[in-house]
Amino acid sequence: MGVKKKILISVCLFLIVAIAVVAIVMFAPLPMKIKWNTIYDVGSNVKLLEAGGTGNPTNAAALIKYNADGSIDTSDWKVLQFTDMHLSEKNSGRAGNGSTMEEYIAAIEREKPDFVALTGDIITSFRGRARAVQLCEVMEKLGVYWAYCLGNHEGDAFYKLPRKELMQIVEKYPHCLTDASVKKTAAGEEVWGYGNFVVNLLGAENKVVQSLIFMDSGDAITNADADRLGVERGTYDYLKESQMTWYEEQVRAVAKDFDNAKTMLFIHIPLVEQRNMSYIALNNDKVLAEGWTIDTPIAGWSYVEGAIAKDHDGNVVGRVAVKDGWYAANGSKNFEGVCSSEYNNGMYTLMKSLRKWVNGLFCGHDHINDSVLYEAAGEGETPIYLAYGICSGYATYNLYKSNKTDDPDHWMKGYSVITIHADATFDYSGVSYDDNYAVTSYVTNSQPVNG
């Protein structure tokens, strides 16, 4: 055998081995480290009523609670929101999946929720299939109903589990109420996205108390959309017109059939209006070129009391400001810019036009933004809240890594609790993993907590 042929064979063998190694690293299952023997059924009394089935007056999945004697349990509904868990490749250490899943499981066992809402960027690994299956199996063992809406990082690369396939995996599990089927508007138009669906919570007389609407807020805007809408390519996506039409139809359907019911919207990417609360970075001289100072905001804005970022040495490096006409509930803080789409699709305006039946929006996406923003409501009305869920994943960037806290143990991780009352009002609070599970109350009985 000639030298050239030997070299060619050696190169080919090397390439085959290299490709095999890359394939194994990228696609072979690598299960998360989960302590299965510590997980137990939390003993929920929630039952699922299939769409249009006996006892379900709606055309969507509905949940109802029963007492031991078979009567309807009309007590508060407890919903936990987890977001941006980023179950990626890293398993060990504090910044790994082990920490995230331990806290996640412990929170569900401690809180014993009636329902869990995951608002995107949950399965972000290129080994996504294995992690998706594990997450579903965890929820089956806990015995809690849940739903998953997509974030921007699910399926955002060729080597990741496709968005549609991820939704089709999770929806097969009995306790997962995600519905990946393509919806249509009343006019027969297909609704854009994967995972636009409704979960209704029922109360006395099997009537809807709260309708939970989940929608796919996309990934990155397409180049065609960016050019058509006159925004920069690569910006974040937005809710499409077909989705907004479908959303309005769901809200009006609840309003038509159930006098006191209200709705909540769960998406991943925040709306443009959430930029009315802003993180103001201060330079070493405590002054910004635009005229902000450490003590005084520019005209038209006010600083949020107590929302101050400090570097590792304890120096103030940023403040949080809210635009005039907008208000921040107690404990609100945005320590980074709001990464919404650059295109304002009018979703918030639509929600305001449906104000009577809308409680608010709950999103994720920005990992060190924990704010509840709202405008003043009219007489006899309650605000429409634009709320960030607390980032729940330790594998993501954090407050300390961003040099915006002098406490190395404060990463700004946790989860949110939505308590829904029989009269469709609600409470909203955040629980911090890093502060010994301290609770911050943002909203009580649909009224903002201020100070």
Q: 131 with 148, same domain?
A: yes
Q: 237 with 266, same domain?
A: yes
CA distances in angstroms from 241 to 152, 193, 246, 345, listed in the order given: 19, 11, 9, 8
Whether the pLDDT of residue 219 is over 70: the answer is yes
Q: 42 with 7, same domain?
A: no
What CA–CA distance (Å, rounded) separates 254 from 234?
36
Q: 2 with 83, same domain?
A: no
Q: What is the CATH number of the domain that holds 256?
A: 3.60.21.10
**Residue position matching structure tokens 């959309």:** 225
Q: 251 with 354, same domain?
A: yes
pLDDT given at position 284: 67
Q: 1 with 93, same domain?
A: no
Q: 173 with 320, same domain?
A: yes
Q: What is the mean pLDDT of residues 85-101?
A: 84
Q: 304 with 334, same domain?
A: yes
Whether the pLDDT of residue 23 is over 50: the answer is no
Please give the tally of structural domains in the chain: 2
Q: Grade residue 4 by pLDDT with cuts at 50, 70 and 90.
A: low
159 is written with which tokens?
């080597």
Q: What is the mean pLDDT of residues 240-256?
A: 97
Residue numbers of the domain that contains 5: 1-30
pLDDT given at position 18: 40
Whether the pLDDT of residue 158 is over 90: the answer is no
pTM for the structure as a whole:
0.92
Q: 88 with 167, same domain?
A: yes
Q: Grade residue 52 by pLDDT with cuts at 50, 70 and 90.
A: confident
Q: What is the mean pLDDT of residues 346-354?
A: 97
Q: 10 with 114, same domain?
A: no
Q: In the predicted model, what is the mean pLDDT of the chain?
A: 91
Cβ neighbours of residue 22 closer than 8 Å, sequence gap 6 or more: none
Q: 85 with 12, same domain?
A: no
CA distances in angstroms from 369 to 83, 231, 365, 406, listed in the order given: 12, 24, 9, 17
Whether the pLDDT of residue 334 is over 50: the answer is yes
Lowest mean pLDDT among 117-121, 158-162, 399-403: 158-162
Q: Grade residue 352 by pLDDT with cuts at 50, 70 and 90.
A: very high
pLDDT given at position 451: 60
Q: Grade residue 17 by pLDDT with cuts at 50, 70 and 90.
A: very low
pLDDT given at position 371: 96
Whether the pLDDT of residue 19 is over 50: the answer is no
pLDDT given at position 289: 64
pLDDT given at position 10: 58
Q: Grade residue 153 by pLDDT with cuts at 50, 70 and 90.
A: confident
Q: 158 with 183, same domain?
A: yes
Q: Grade residue 26 by pLDDT with cuts at 50, 70 and 90.
A: very low
Top-confidence residue, 154 or 186? 186
